[in-house]
Structure formats: C-alpha cells, structure tokens
Amino acid sequence: MNGSSIKHVYKEIFKSYDNPSLEKHIEKIIELDTFLPYSSTFFCITNTQNLTFEYISKNMPACLGLDKKVLESKGMRYLWSRMHPNDLEEWLQALNELMDFTLKNTKVEDRKRMSYTWNYRLKNSNNDYVNIVQNTTPLGFDSDFKPIIGLAHYTVLSPEIKLQVCATAKLLNEKNEYETIYFNNCSQKLLSEGISNRERDIVRLLVLNYSSKQIGDKLSISPNTVDTHRRNILKKLNISSTGELIGMLKMNENFI
C-alpha cells in the first residue's frame, strides 16, 4: 500500500465538514510540556482533518531520534512513510472499524469521555523498527461530532516485544474508571472473540493487582459476580490459575 492509498483511506475515515478552533486548549497543553520529564513517551496534538500535527512535544526527538521540524512540516504523511509495511493495512483496518464503531454505537454526549488505543511499528532515526502504542483522547469534533482534534500519547517499546495490531475504545464511566466498550485484534483473534468487554475490564484490573472486591466496587458489580467472571475467563483460555492469566497478559499487554 503506497502513501497515496493511505491518504485516501485515512481521510475517508476522518472525513469532516468544519474546522473547529482549539487554540487556547492547545496553548495550555504546550505550556505543560515544559515541565514534563524526559521518558519513553511523547505526545502530539493531532489534526486528522488536515493530516497535521498542531504540536509535537519535546520528548519526540529523544524517543525516536527524528527531526521535529520535518515531522511538523510534513505531518502525518511523513509518519506513515516510516510505518512497517506489514502493519499498514491492519492499522488502517483497525482505525476504520474503530471510527465506524464510535459513530454507530456511542452517544454523542459520551464521545468527550472516550479514549482510543492502537499500535504499530515505526522506523526510528537508526532505521530500526520500534513498537508504538498510541493512546488518543478527543479534544475537538466536527459538525457530525466525529473526533478530529486529539491529544495523542505515544509510548515507544522495544522491537523485541512482539505485538499484534489491536484497537481499543474505552469509556470513562461515572466512577472515573475506564470501561472497555470495543476491542479488535486485527492480527490475531486470540482474546478478541472469546473474551467479553466486561471480562476484559476484569482482566485489566487483575493485572493491576486489584482484589475481587475492589474490582466489583470499580465496575459496580458484586465480588461474587467478579469471581464468576474470573472462573469463566480461565475456562475460556484453558488455563488453571489467575497467576498464569496475569503472567500471560503481562507478556501480551495489547490484548487488554
């Protein structure tokens, strides 16, 4: 798939009809960047309508070794050109289905409380492919309330970690706990077909060492219901203990 094809598919996914202004919001985020420590993550303000980066944080060159000015001037097309060719089609499929789910299955008023995650491999300045896990929170919407301006966080992981291309949508509930409402593993259907979104939330909290009671409190269900879900998860995955489950999931974090 060449750059022209990517542009066409991507713009079709994010097709919109107006150009909202968020200068003040973005200005505050840029001010915050000054105080953030260097780490293996960086963030950008993305504009999927213009295929540009409104802002790129100071950590990007430290994480990838890329020229910040080049990324600012060439925008998303330049980023796409550095993606692993084997990930492009699956990544676009994941993004398309994620946007389609958002428009068809989420309430307009809930879209400001969504968080989206997907991943791909990207070539750094040494021409080595590294794993990128991107988490994007919508900041601005078009007239159809489709997200077009986003705060995107990029986590850079070692290329030795084998990740399938996945896409996840989470909704921030009334208890300020994210609940998985969509999951798609475009590379492999290991957990995406058998495990429900509720079970996926329980797995995610188990990995964080929460007890059944704590999980029940967060998800507004009883500890007994949590335990029933835990038994069902073990049965579905044909494993014998929660410890084995947590070990497997810590090695494959993109499944949750």
% of the chain exceeding 70 in pLDDT? 84
Least confident of 20-34, 41-55, 206-220: 20-34
Residue 195 has pLDDT above 80, yes or no: no
Q: Which of 95, 33, 87 is nearest to 61 (CA)?
A: 33
DSSP 205-247: HHHTT--HHHHHHHHTS-HHHHHHHHHHHHHHHT-S-HHHHHH
For position 36, what pLDDT does the model report? 81
Give the three-state DSSP class for 249.
helix
Residue 76 structure tokens: 């998303």
| pLDDT-based confidence at residue 57 (cuts at 50, 70, 90) | very high
d(CA 111, CA 115): 9
Least confident of 114-118, 139-143, 153-157, 235-239: 235-239
Q: Average of pLDDT values for 32-40?
A: 84
CATH second-level architecture of 189-256?
A: Orthogonal Bundle (1.10)
> Cα(first)–Cα(last) distance of the chain, in Å?
29
Q: Pick 3-188's CATH classification: 3.30.450.20, 3.40.1360.10, 1.20.1090.10, 3.40.50.300.
A: 3.30.450.20
Residue ranges per structural domain of the chain = 3-188, 189-256
Residue 215 structure tokens: 């999980």
d(CA 188, CA 207): 21
Q: Could you give the strand order of the β-sheet that contains 166-172, starting from the edge strand earlier in sequence?
A: 52-56, 41-47, 147-157, 129-141, 114-123, 166-172, 178-185
DSSP alpha helices (H): ranges in the chain?
A: 3-13, 23-33, 59-64, 68-81, 85-105, 197-207, 212-219, 223-237, 242-251
d(CA 101, CA 198): 17
Q: Average of pLDDT values for 92-105?
A: 88
What residues does 180 pair with on adjacent strands? 170
Residue 169 has pLDDT above 90, yes or no: yes
Amino acid of residue 95: L
A 10 A CB-CB count for 42 gives 23
Q: Average of pLDDT values for 69-80?
A: 93
Least confident of 87-101, 169-183, 220-234, 242-256: 242-256
DSSP H or E stretch at residue 141: strand 129-141
- Tokens 């009883």 identify what position? 222
Least confident of 5-14, 221-230, 245-254: 245-254
For position 174, what pLDDT does the model report? 83
Do residues 109 and 122 lie in contact, with contact meaning Cβ atoms separated by under 8 Å? no
For position 249, what pLDDT does the model report? 62
Residue 30 has pLDDT above 50, yes or no: yes
